[in-house]
Structure 1
């Protein structure tokens, strides 16, 4: 027979094990969700015959739908690579970024930012996102609002030696690329469904044409 002290110790171990299982279960419920994304490719011939090809490859998102256990906060870490080929021009500039929306469809035309950002959808392949986020991907959006931000923030001296920040990677020759990993999207204030969508805008300048070409990635849910 077991004495009472031994049985009490067993009961304590069982309670501790039960508590540990409960903690593990809670953690699993709040675990991050890895989302592989298909990226995309777009080829456009400009009016002067210049051929621009834009690719979005290796795209993914790691999503935490409720950081801090609050229903109005989401957090995601996004990665990808933008690759550009320009045949007939000598260089360009790559502007990778994301558009985030709260209870708004960002899969088509008519999207306008309710804060500072905007999207000109007059030509689907020449969309130049308006950028209004002051702190990278840390956004506060209410229902029906969207906002865009650029991934890059390159610090460099301007022509007068002062500090300046550029949102693009400028390249010379016929190809260029930008790769980013674990770029943060932090969304506050959205009590409904939220989505995000990558874009790669390319500014191309030739002897005859200055234009933007934009490739859009697939929208994905932030929870």
Structure 2
């Protein structure tokens, strides 16, 4: 049995966030497949001239095709680092929402860095299919679901418990790094894929907008 412990820690210059999710056992690792991923970079100039650069670096996945010992179960551990830089603006800041889309017998490749056929982001920054926290998903053939990596607990403005799926940063840079984020899939009897995304909300003195970078799809078996 594999136990995972979630830990989210905000620290460092540029509002860097690190989330560590434990390590898998030696026995499970012996049959796993390590998949290095290329990450990516997206540069977008906003209407007020502010230039936003979003990068995914150090991205990888470790695949275990059948953790549940049946063809409809998949398991993977994903790692990466999302980095944001803002140039040309004053009084800036933003929020970083890293996550993954998982599909069963459906194309999640899309056509470009900012969208996918079964994984889109609308003008308000909402991921479609709607994203939740937690990487244990039940996905049937022809379906895709998405989830956010971060689940940071803290008080809201009124002192009640709140859960944030983003890392908020002030200034011209921010980052989020995660290690061994579980992607657990059940219910898919055919081929399955996953794909990372980094949704960034940018706020300058004149503009509030969303920029989204999509990673390369990878097979879950």
- Per the normalisation by structure 2, the TM-score is 0.79
Which 4+ runs in 1 deviate beyond 6 A? none
Gaps of 5+ in 2: 1-26
**Larger relative contact order (C-alpha < 8 A, sep ≥ 6)?**
2
| 1:150-169 paired onto structure 2 within 5 Å | 150-169=148-167
Report the equivalent of 1:93.
Answer: 95
How far 1:217 sits from its partner (Å)?
Answer: 0.6
Alpha carbons 1:131, 1:149 under 8 Å: kept: no
Partner Cα distance (1:80, 1:134) in 2: 19
Provide closer, same or farther for how the CA distance between residues 188 and 65 of structure 1 changes in structure 2, counting only shifts above 3 A. Answer: same
Structure with more of its chain in helix, by fraction: 1
Alpha carbons 1:48, 1:209 under 8 Å: kept: yes
Partner Cα distance (2:209, 2:125) in 1: 10
Gaps of 5+ in 1: 1-26, 113-117
How far 1:128 sits from its partner (Å)?
Answer: 3.8
| 1:49-198 paired onto structure 2 within 5 Å | 49-87=49-87, 88-89=89-90, 90-108=92-110, 111-112=117-118, 119-120=120-121, 128-130=126-128, 132=130, 136-198=134-196
Higher Cα Rg, which structure: 1
- Per the normalisation by structure 1, the TM-score is 0.79
Provide closer, same or farther for how the CA distance between residues 179 and 135 of structure 1 changes in structure 2, counting only shifts above 3 A. Answer: closer
Aligned to 2:68, what secondary structure does the other structure show? helix
